[in-house]
Structures are given as structure tokens and as C-alpha cells.
Amino acid sequence: MKKYSDAFIHDMPKSDLHLHLDGSLRIPTLIEMAKKNNIKMPSYTEEGLRELVFKSSYSNLGEYLHGFQYTCAALRDLENIERVAYELAIDNQNENVYYIEPRFAPQLMMDIETGLTMEKVFEAAYKGFERAKKEFNNRPEVKNGTRPEFHYGIISCAMRNFGPKGYSPYYSRFYKTMEYSKHIEVVKAAALQMVKAAVRIRDEKDIPIVSIDLAGQEAGYPCGKFHDVYAYAHKNFMHKTVHAGEAYGAESIFQAITECYADRIGHGYYLFDEDKVVDVKIDDTKKYISDLVSFVADKRTTIEVCLTSNLQTNPEIGDIKNHNVKHMLANRMSVTVCTDNRLVSDTTVSREFGLLLNNFDVQMKHLKDIVAYGFKKSFYPGAYIEKRNWAKRVMMHFDEVAKKHGV
């Protein structure tokens, strides 16, 4: 018998701190946008796209990422960006997710020739999220205090890698205009341009861009090479998260913390794998990992766990019970449950919590801690005292829901 019912998991307040906008469209919306914008797709039916692109399982990370070429193409349109942002917020609200931090790489959506500047891309996303937030927070049950308010923050992603052909019209032209001979210098220059623009737009437009991220091919492109990018964000009061330990080991997480000032870690899956440590200077890999785990746990550096996504991009994991979240739980690390990509992984926050709670021994007190981390370790776009009071109200609602369900 389940310790926690599906109804309780659905009703309890939740957050999603690792959520890619371009991986979380509704399929009917994507099909409609593809037809409107003349985007060539392998199928124009939900069944066809589920079979050919957005599958229940993938053979590797490359196949998992294949579908982004279609979603990013659809998002090179300001009306589409606003609509997708709005729908994503609504989908989360409908399953009692009260805080989200959608992330996206604005440079993947930009096209200067058609007027898609970075500023306009952020503004379009902001309009969609803000409309959904205002509609929700004006509901009677929110105004009378029986449900918490909904909030969000936007995370701006830099890409670890892109080639001369680029991932977008903007990247293609950016690559051609650079005079650097080393590929990594071109990529870093694009990342630095992105973070400088994100800080400026946050300050000038009052758009809640709360953090930067580094996404893309991890192996071969260590985050330490992007130190200057993160240092700029750090000095401008911008929070920081890093995709680390998704396809590379503990050293990637070490670099994220020591060289990129990471407040949170995206995925962190391979933190515990000794065979992923490649630095020959590390003689005792077991001690290295043990010390790193202890440091991360003690600092309460939160790991954004994405169970379904990890199973899909790392098929060697096999059964969910083999997932390294068991070690994170055993070491009482600060973890939060996330979807990564609602469309590409065909999941929701409720499903991800179901996977965790139905396959690992998580007692009620520990569950409440995990839920609380999602709010307390968020990059809430407001004063600390506001965030603290709001998080307290959310957790009071958690207790109310638990009592209602007899948990």
C-alpha cells in the first residue's frame, strides 16, 4: 500500500526549480505553432510526435535533445513565447505548484534580422508568466488565504557549446562575427554577452530574471571555463545554478561550487560515482567524493533532482531504485524535486514526487523538508523577509493539506 496517496501528492504545495521553457510546451500548442510558422515537423499529430520525437524512453542524451529543434523553432516568435509561458504557468497552477523557475537560453530564440532581440524575448516570457500570476493571485481562494499565492522567477541559460552552424540564426551570425581562433572563446563570449544583458534587463525593465544557468554538453566543456561569466553575475547580485553532474562526475560539481559560486546544482546525478572522477591528481577518489558530499550537504547547496529525465538520458541506470537520489536522501542533502522538461520527459511535478515517494523510504518529516527546500532555496524575486513569510505560509498550507488527507 502506498504511504502517500496520489490525491495527497497532487494537493500538497509544490515547486519546480529546474524547468526548461523550451522543453515544456503542450503538444497541441506546438503543432498549432508549427503550422502557423511553417515549421517542418515529422508529424502534425500528438500520436505521431509521441512515437517519433517525444518518447517515453530514449537511447541516449542526443535522442532526448532531438525534439528541441522543433520547440525552439516555434519559440522564435514573440506571441508564441508569451503564450507558451502563460500555458506553462497555468499547467503548474493546476497541480498546485505555487512557485516555478522556468529557464531558457534567450540566444536560442533570438534573431536580430526579424527583431527578436534578447530584451524582447525576455519581455514576451515575462508577459505570459505575469498574466498567469495575476489571474491566479486574484482568485477568491487566494485572496481569502485558503491557497498560497503563485510566484515565479526566470533563469537565463548560457550554452556550453554551439558550432558554426549554430542552434539559432543569432548563434550562427555570432559565430561568424567572432575573430577568436579557439572555439571555447567564442562560446564564452556569447555567454558573457548573455549574462550582461540579463543583469541589465533585470535592472532596467524590472523583469524577474533571478539567476543564470549553464546548460548543454557537459563533457568536454567544464563549467570552470565560464568563471568570468559567473563572476559577473555574482558581483551583480544574480543567483547562480549550474547543470553539473548530469553527464560528468563529482569534479563538475566541485567546479560549479568553487569556480562558479553555484547556489544550486542542476541534476548532480553522478556526484557519488567514483569511476567518473578523471583527474589523475585525485589519489583517493572515495575520500574526495565523501568530502565533497559532506561539504555540499553542510552548505545546504540544493540539488535540483530530475528523476524521469535522468532515467531517460542515462539508460544504464535501469530501475528507478538505482537512482542516486537514494544516496542524497541518506546523506540528508538539500534536494528538491523537478521535472526538467514536462513535454520531452512527459511528466509533471506530481509524477516526479510519486516516483520519489513510491520507490524510496521518505518519512513525513523528511518529505516536508524536501517540499520546504523548494521554496526556501528558491531564487524568489523579492526581499528576503517577503520570501520568508511567503514560504512560511506555503508550509502552513502543507500541514493543512496533510491533515485533510490524514497523512
Res. 170: pLDDT tops 90: no
Q: For residue 330, count other CB atoms closer than 10 A to its CB.
A: 12
Tell me the domains of the chain and their CATH numbers: 6-404 (3.20.20.140)
3-state class of 296 per DSSP?
helix
pLDDT beyond 60 at 97: yes
Q: What is the pLDDT of residues 116-127, one digit of tens each?
A: 999 999 999 999
Q: What is the pLDDT of residue 168?
A: 86
Alpha helices in 94-165 (DSSP H): 106-109, 118-137, 140-143
Residue 304 φ then ψ, to 5°: -85, 95
Q: Three-class SS of residue 305?
A: strand
Look at phi and psi of residue 46 and say left if phi exceeds 0, alpha if psi is from -120 to 50, else beta.
alpha
Split at pLDDT 50, 70, 90, the class of 213 is very high
Q: Tell me the three state secondary structure of residue 141.
A: helix
Beta bridge partners of 213: 157
Q: What pLDDT, in 10s, does the model give residues 277-311?
A: 888 889 899 999 999 999 999 999 999 999 999 99
- Cell output for 290: 565523501
Q: Does residue 1 surpass a pLDDT of 70?
A: no
Q: What is the pLDDT of residues 41-83, one digit of tens each?
A: 999 999 999 999 999 888 877 788 889 999 999 999 999 999 9
Share above pLDDT 90 across residues of the chain, in percent, rounded to a whole number: 82
Q: Can you give the pLDDT at residue 179?
A: 64
Find the largest Cα–Cα distance for the chain: 65
Instruction: Please give the backbone phi and psi of residue 5, each rounded to the nearest 5 degrees, phi first.
Output: -75, 160
Instruction: Tell me the C-alpha distance between 41 and 45, whole Å.
Output: 10
Confidence of residue 159 (pLDDT cuts 50, 70, 90): very high
Q: pLDDT at residue 164 above 80? A: no
* 33: CB partners within 8 A, 6+ apart: 39, 74, 77, 80
What is the pLDDT, as a whole number, of residue 162? 82
Cβ atoms of 187 and 160 closer than 8 Å: yes
Alpha-carbon distance of 40 to 55, in angstroms, equals 19
pLDDT category at 247 given cuts 50, 70, 90 is confident
Q: Average pLDDT over the chain, rounded to whole? A: 94
> What pLDDT is recorded for position 291?
96
Which pLDDT band holds residue 181 (cuts at 50, 70, 90)? low
The number of helices, as runs of H, and strands, as runs of E, in the chain is 19, 9
C-alpha grid cell for residue 7? 490525491
How confident is the model at residue 180, as a pLDDT?
A: 58
